[in-house]
Structures are given as C-alpha cells and as structure tokens.
Amino acid sequence: MGVQRAMLGHVVLNVRDLKKSERFYRDVLGMEVSGRNPVTKMSFLSFGAEHHDIALMELPAKAKRNGDGVPGLHHFCVYVASDKEVDDLYPVLKRKRVPVVSGPEILEVARNRSVSFLDPDGNRVEVASNRNKFKR
C-alpha cells in the first residue's frame, strides 16, 4: 500500500567545496545555516520551518563523483507557493551566472511553473510552484 501522505524531509548532497556550496544555497535560495558539524564536514541549511531542508557533506579530496560508492543525483525539487516566485528567481540566477538547465516554464505533466539550474557541484535543483503544499 505504501506511504499515504508524505513530504520530502531533507536532501543530503555530496559537495566538493563546503563553503562554496553553503554560500550558493544561502545566496540563491535564501536559506539559513542551521548547524555545522566540523567532524563530518557537514553544513545544514533551512528555509525556516525545519532544522534543515538540505544538508551538504564535503567529499574527501580524492573521492570520485560517480564511483567509489558515491552515487549521482538527477535533481531535487523545492516547492514555492506561486508562479511569481519561480519567475522572480530567474533574474537572480542570471545575475549570479548560475547555469539554468530549463525554464522558467510550465511543465507538461504536472502543469506547474518550474525553473531548473545547477549548483556548484553540478547537482540539478528545481524550484517549482505548488499551491497545494501551502494551503492550510
């Protein structure tokens, strides 16, 4: 039967440069650092409601991205409440020279507005509108 009601808890990304990636998620998505673990070389970032929505873990210098047991990631999605928020992010991405993969566009299947871009490690990040997630 599976899970009946669920939301994404958090995503942990393997990164090459912890400080660079932390700055990217702060500056582009407006996240706040909610914690750091210097022993495991991790940073935890939040949109405000949870302790962390994204965690970043710095890879050892010799680790290979698609090998040595480090799998790749196609993308993850962050929902926002309106199409305007998606559209307003686009000029920020361009100004910061963030590589945009697609959008802003209306997705064919889900019919929501979306923009996808790459973080400093090449992880694909999607920001999409989903009014239903924000209804109370």
* Sole residue written with tokens 């920001």: 127
* Sole residue written with tokens 């923009």: 115
d(CA 26, CA 24): 5
CATH fold match for the domains 9-60 and 72-136: yes
Question: Does residue 30 have a pLDDT over 50?
Answer: yes
pLDDT, tens digit, for every residue of 108-133?
A: 777 889 999 999 988 889 999 887 77
Q: What pLDDT is attached to residue 41?
A: 92
**Cα dihedral angle (106, 108, 110, 112), rounded to 10 degrees?**
10
Angular region, 68: left φ>0, alpha ψ -120 to 50, beta rest: left
Q: Please give the backbone phi and psi of residue 91, each rounded to the nearest 5 degrees, phi first.
A: -65, -30
Q: pLDDT band for position 3 (50/70/90)?
A: very low
pLDDT, tens digit, for every residue of 75-99?
A: 899 988 889 999 999 999 999 999 9
Domain 9-60 -> CATH class:
alpha beta
pLDDT, tens digit, for every residue of 31-65?
A: 999 999 999 999 999 999 889 999 998 988 777 65
Domain 72-136: assigned CATH number? 3.10.180.10
Could you tell me the pTM of the whole model? 0.76
For the chain, which residues make up each domain, given as ranges? 9-60, 72-136
Q: What pLDDT is attached to residue 67?
A: 46
